Structure 1
Amino acid sequence: MKTILTIAATSLILQAVSVAAQDAAEDTFAGHDIYFTVSGGIVSAPTFLGSGETSTYALPDISVSVGDRLNISLLDGVSYDFYKDDNLTAGAILTYDAGREDTPPSHALVLSNGARSEIEGLGDIDETAEIGGYFEYTHGNLQARLAVRKGIDGGHDGFVGDVDVNYNAPVDLFGKQSVISFGPSASFADDSYTSTFFDVSADQSAASGISEYDAGGGIMSYGLNASAYVPLNQNVALVGFASFDQLAGDVRNSSIVQERGSETQTTSGLVISYTY
């Protein structure tokens, strides 16, 4: 999928419930070194980061977990926990940035699109392989995570990262022991990353009608997210999620956002998963 951050944003939201989901799977399949999760759903998200238009996508994923350290997922890439104790987890990740198209996407996973192209003339940004690391600290129901990634092949070669803090509250939903997670989040990037997605050169300005702009690094956005994890039975779980983000700094001030997009970004979705 080449709409910027549609999958990535969803992945960040799902991190709030990933621990609960993994714990449930490990309890259910105790003694098994490998388990599989197949999931699918829908997500409504900005067509690209900074867009004022919303698109709706089908969201399929298959993941394989080996023990309690290695996870391989179509959605999130490959992650491995190098260090893990009762409170702290540290690991490495190989994933990708979905890039950006300057016209609304028209592939099989798109269920509905914005009515127009906001950024035609800026050109496409290719998908990018990213490598990075993460730290996660858990204390009781509180969970904090820092992740930083660098583009190594594709559309950008910059650094980009995210900070998430979530409170995971056990609740009873539909007669099932469930988890509701909520908390603040923020994203940041260096000059190279923000320039790739939010600069407008003289040629791009002439082609698109958007004013020239030179973006610097720093905080890109901050916001709130919430999710609910509901195990329907021993194998099937339902996850609902929503996030609201406010663009910040040079990203917010970019002519792409100010002239064609929106400073506020909202993502929501519903996913059902089967683990075996």
Structure 2
Amino acid sequence: MKTITTFTATLVLTLPASVFAQDRSEDTFAGHDIFFTVSGGVISAPSFLGSSETSVYAIPNISVAIGDRLNISLLEGIEYDVYKEGNLTAGAILTYDFGREDTPSDHSLLLSDVASSEITGLGGIEETAEFGGYIEYTYGNLQTSVEVRKGVDGGHSGLVGDVDVTYNAPVEILGRQSVISFGSTASFSDDSYASTFFDVSAAQSAASGISEYDANGGIISYGLHASAYVPLNEHIALVGFAKYDHLAGDVRDSSIVQERGSEQQTTAGLVLNYTF
């Protein structure tokens, strides 16, 4: 049983890192090299990538930042900045694709009702370990990044990635120095990844009633995102976020999306962080 949807995990990964961690230069954490963050919240998201049904999920997370290069998180995986010079950062990532249940109501963190027969018959897609790398360039408040990952063990063996441009604006909210972030993003994949999640074989078509389809890779989606990071005190911060994606290419044209889902994907959530 999956604990969280692939779409939810992807959303968390695409949000800028600045909204999930305190500025380590603050006196609050002076002298510390390891920072722990315990997070809890709720998110409203499609029950799977391409779904027309919106569900509410709990999103627990624990993350550890060691120094200024290594980050370990239940949701985001392991990230290590191999190169860090000036405005340019490049690193390696080991993360986790949470797969897909063919019965969306079988998620252990689901808090709301969801149609149980939407894609029943397609069969589940197992979780997958993904290994890859990223490059990030920061210019003032503007942050651009490219990340590419390869499935190495589990439900898919494809290549998938994201391109993101984000502007982080310092503002004052509730009398506290906060950050509002907004930007655009696009996701892409190879044929193998697209086929795993959006193909419909003859056997699957007979079992689900969804038309047969053969998906190729390319641009998966493009969209906009926004978030707000508001520290409530020296340890607790509130994070709100929203994201809109429009599916593209063969993914958009998949019979799964056209017959049982939607091209429009909207997500919003609220998370409380405790850092120590």
Using the size of structure 1 for normalisation, the TM-score is: 0.96
Q: Aligned runs of 1:159-238 on 2, under 5 Å?
A: 159-238=159-238
Q: Shift of the alpha carbon at 1:35?
A: 1.3
Q: Which amino acid aligns with 1:135?
A: I
Whether 2:103 is the aligned partner of 1:103: answer: yes
Provide closer, same or farther for how the CA distance between residues 53 and 21 of structure 1 changes in structure 2, counting only shifts above 3 A: closer
**Separation in 1, partners of 2:101, 2:108:** 15
Q: Which residue number in structure 1 is paired with residue 10 of structure 2?
A: 9
Over 6 Å off, 4+ runs: none
**Separation in 2, partners of 1:270, 1:10:** 12
Per-residue CA shift, 1:51-100, capped at 9, x if unaligned?
Answer: 01111111101111110001111010111000112311110010110100
* 2:225–2:243 CA contact under 8 A, matched in 1: yes
Q: Shift of the alpha carbon at 1:219?
A: 0.1
**Separation in 2, partners of 1:194, 1:48:** 14
Q: Which segment drifts farther, 114-123 or 232-241? A: 114-123
* 2:251–2:257 CA contact under 8 A, matched in 1: yes
Q: Aligned runs of 1:62-73 on 2, under 5 Å?
A: 62-73=62-73
* 1:57–1:110 CA contact under 8 A, matched in 2: yes
Q: Secondary structure at the match of 2:104?
A: coil
Q: Which residue number in structure 2 is paired with residue 22 of structure 1?
A: 21
Q: Shift of the alpha carbon at 1:211?
A: 0.5
* 1:158–1:190 CA contact under 8 A, matched in 2: yes
Q: Shift of the alpha carbon at 1:3?
A: 5.2
**Separation in 2, partners of 1:114, 1:2:** 15
Provide closer, same or farther for how the CA distance between residues 82 and 102 of structure 1 changes in structure 2, counting only shifts above 3 A: same
**Separation in 2, partners of 1:187, 1:91:** 19
Provide closer, same or farther for how the CA distance between residues 20 and 246 of structure 1 changes in structure 2, counting only shifts above 3 A: closer
Provide closer, same or farther for how the CA distance between residues 81 and 219 of structure 1 changes in structure 2, counting only shifts above 3 A: same
* 1:223–1:243 CA contact under 8 A, matched in 2: yes
* 2:13–2:76 CA contact under 8 A, matched in 1: no
* 2:3–2:108 CA contact under 8 A, matched in 1: no
* 1:3–1:48 CA contact under 8 A, matched in 2: no
Provide closer, same or farther for how the CA distance between residues 194 and 107 of structure 1 changes in structure 2, counting only shifts above 3 A: closer
Q: Which residue number in structure 1 is paired with residue 153 of structure 2?
A: 153
Q: Which residue number in structure 2 is paired with residue 45 of structure 1?
A: 45
Q: Which amino acid aligns with 1:191?
A: D
Q: Secondary structure at the match of 2:125?
A: coil
Q: Secondary structure at the match of 2:117?
A: coil
Provide closer, same or farther for how the CA distance between residues 3 and 108 of structure 1 changes in structure 2, counting only shifts above 3 A: closer
Provide closer, same or farther for how the CA distance between residues 168 and 229 of structure 1 changes in structure 2, counting only shifts above 3 A: same
Q: Secondary structure at the match of 2:120?
A: coil
Q: Shift of the alpha carbon at 1:116?
A: 3.6
Q: Secondary structure at the match of 1:112?
A: coil
* 1:3–1:47 CA contact under 8 A, matched in 2: no
Q: Secondary structure at the match of 1:105?
A: helix
Q: Secondary structure at the match of 2:244?
A: strand
Per-residue CA shift, 1:184-214, capped at 9, x if unaligned?
Answer: 1000000000000000000000000000000
Q: Which amino acid aligns with 1:106?
A: D
**Separation in 2, partners of 1:193, 1:255:** 16
C-alpha root-mean-square deviation of aligned residues, in Å?
A: 1.3
* 2:105–2:114 CA contact under 8 A, matched in 1: no
Q: Secondary structure at the match of 2:111?
A: strand
Per-residue CA shift, 1:147-170, capped at 9, x if unaligned?
Answer: 100000000000000011011011
Q: Which amino acid aligns with 1:256?
A: I
Q: Which residue number in structure 2 is paired with residue 142 of structure 1?
A: 142
* 2:20–2:239 CA contact under 8 A, matched in 1: no
Provide closer, same or farther for how the CA distance between residues 272 and 151 of structure 1 changes in structure 2, counting only shifts above 3 A: same
Whether 2:120 is the aligned partner of 1:120: answer: yes
Provide closer, same or farther for how the CA distance between residues 178 and 3 of structure 1 changes in structure 2, counting only shifts above 3 A: closer
Q: Secondary structure at the match of 1:258?
A: helix
**Separation in 2, partners of 1:203, 1:107:** 25
**Separation in 2, partners of 1:163, 1:187:** 6
> Identity over aligned residues, as a percent?
69
